[in-house]
Amino acid sequence: MSSPSKTPTSWHIHMPIKTLLRYGDKRLGEIVTHPKGVDGARAELRQMRAEGREFLVCDSNCNKRKPDGSCAGHPVENEDA
């Protein structure tokens, strides 16, 4: 068995899509933005669930995601940063 990596890693915050879909319009609108408002956000979240994703990463710049939609982690190049 290999030992875990000693490379520091950071993760983007991600939220369960199932939870987001349960929120009312006001609360959902405080968490996510969408050009078509909360109705557009709900439609996109439902589409993501249909595609097998379970999580929404809270940073659209995340370029390393697991198949479930969550952040897969990013190596931290400088711990002091």
Per-residue pLDDT of the chain (81 residues; tens, 9 = 90+): 444 567 798 999 899 999 999 999 999 999 999 999 999 999 999 999 999 999 999 888 899 999 999 999 999 876 554
> Which helix (DSSP H) or strand (DSSP E) does residue 26 occupy?
helix 25-31
What pLDDT sits at residue 2?
46
pTM over 0.95: no
